[in-house]
């Protein structure tokens, strides 16, 4: 780890090393830049999503109807309806980045007190890697630290500070609607009743960028070996915000020197849960035996779902540094 203390000009002729709080401002600026143009994105798709595993919603339907001609026959077991959801896909964009000229990155005092431009490794260790650690933490230390990352909610309308990726849910939890099963609907042998209600729908959201204005600017060495303050706009080699964005996107995506700083998403794997856990719930009863006499020699039986709500599987959408 070669994190450096970058220098700033205090306006009175002195070069000062940034405090940890001032450096943190720039790390959060890097997050803000990434949040407006993330290189690792997640989308809702209709099927065949690339994030695994798929998620199963399960519920009971009735048993198969039984039928005989002399008395009610009794019926077998409740049957499970399973709907698989694989509606989340991950996309990775590999950006182009600034070449290190030896003077491309901010300056610091080296061990002898001389002014030195950071190497690419220094720059990554000072600004980019700590920013990605903040983005992938278990809790948000400051509003905006999770900017550009994705999470799950139970509302199709995004909360303040978030953008809804799609109004189509990525997972739906259903259960048997016990009030809709009736003896009058018991059909001929081998038929089923399947009545369901939606318990919860889960949606994908992206956290918006939070505006960050660091209190002090960073310095670089220009072509004449003079110290200059970076520009904060312009999208070129002297625009520090553009440089931060480039390397945030590069490291998050697939830079070979990332060493545990690529951002990836998964279901129930390693990393930190983002947003609401998605639950598959189901009634836990063995069924209520119900009979129907149609008339003559037509006696029918069928079990209907019953019991209390129980959680079958919990699915956590996670962000991970890989």
- Per-residue pLDDT tens digits for 146-155: 999 999 999 9
- 45 part of a folded domain: yes
pTM over 0.85: yes
Domain limits at 92? 7-321
Omega before residue 33 within 30° of 0, cis = no
Structural domain includes residue 72: yes
Q: Each residue of 23-36: pLDDT tens digit?
A: 999 999 999 999 99
**Could you tell me if residue 2 is inside a domain?**
no
Please tell me the predicted confidence (pLDDT) of residue 256. Answer: 61
Residue with tokens 């499970």, as numbered in its chain: 80
* 81 domain-assigned: yes
In angstroms, rounded to a whole number, what is the distance separating the alpha carbons of residues 62 and 67?
15
The domain total for the chain is 1
Measured from the Cβ of residue 101, the count of other Cβ atoms closer than 10 Å reads 11
State how far the Cα of 15 lies from the Cα of 113, in Å rounded to an integer.
11
The number of CA neighbours under 13 Å toward the Cβ of 66 is 17
Residue 150 lies in a domain: yes
How much is the average pLDDT of 163-182? 98
265-282 confidence digits (pLDDT tens): 999 999 999 999 999 999
The secondary structure of 32-98 as a DSSP string is HHHHTS-SEEEEE-SS--SSSS-EEEEEEEPPPPEEESSS-------EEEEEEE--EEEEE------
Tell me, what's the pLDDT at 255? 66
- The yes-or-no verdict on residue 258 having pLDDT over 80 is no
Residue 301 is assigned to a structural domain of this protein? yes
Q: Calculate mean pLDDT across residues 39-60.
A: 96
- Give tens-digit pLDDT for 192-237: 999 999 999 999 999 999 999 999 999 999 999 999 999 998 777 8
What pLDDT is attached to residue 207? Answer: 97
Q: For residue 1, is it within any domain?
A: no
**40 assigned to some structural domain:** yes
Tell me what percent of the residues of the chain surpass a pLDDT of 90: 91
Rounded distance between C-alpha atoms, residue 247 and residue 97, angstroms: 7
């Amino acid at each position: 780890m070669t994190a450096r203390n970058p220098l700033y000009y205090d306006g009175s002729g002195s070069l000062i090393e940034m405090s940890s709080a001032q450096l943190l401002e720039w790390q959060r600026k890097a997050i803000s830049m990434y949040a407006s143009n993330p290189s690792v994105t997640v989308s809702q798709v209709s099927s065949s999503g690339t994030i695994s595993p798929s998620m199963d919603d399960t519920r009971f339907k009735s048993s198969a109807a039984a039928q005989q001609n002399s008395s009610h026959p009794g019926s077998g077991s409740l049957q499970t309806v399973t709907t698989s959801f694989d509606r989340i896909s991950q996309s990775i964009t590999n950006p182009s980045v600034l070449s290190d000229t030896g003077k491309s990155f901010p300056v610091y005092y080296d061990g002898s007190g001389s002014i030195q431009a950071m190497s690419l490794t220094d720059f990554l260790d000072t600004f980019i890697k700590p920013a990605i650690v903040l983005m992938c933490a278990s809790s948000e230390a400051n509003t905006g630290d999770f900017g550009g990352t994705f999470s799950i909610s139970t509302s199709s309308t995004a909360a303040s500070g978030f953008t809804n990726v799609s109004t189509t849910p990525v997972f739906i939890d259903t259960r048997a609607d016990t009030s809709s099963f009736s003896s009058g609907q018991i059909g001929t042998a081998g038929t089923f009743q399947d009545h369901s209600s939606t318990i919860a729908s889960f949606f994908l959201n992206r956290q918006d960028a939070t505006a960050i204005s660091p209190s002090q600017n960073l310095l670089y060495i220009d072509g004449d070996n003079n110290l200059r303050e970076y520009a904060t706009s312009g999208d070129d080699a002297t625009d520090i915000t553009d440089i931060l964005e480039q390397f945030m996107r590069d490291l998050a995506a697939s830079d070979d020197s990332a060493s545990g700083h690529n951002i990836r998403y998964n279901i129930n794997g390693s990393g930190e849960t983002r947003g609401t856990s998605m639950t598959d719930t189901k009634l836990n009863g063995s069924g209520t035996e119900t009979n129907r006499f149609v008339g003559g020699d037509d006696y029918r039986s069928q079990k209907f779902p019953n019991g209390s709500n129980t959680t079958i599987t919990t699915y956590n959408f996670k962000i991970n540094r890989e």
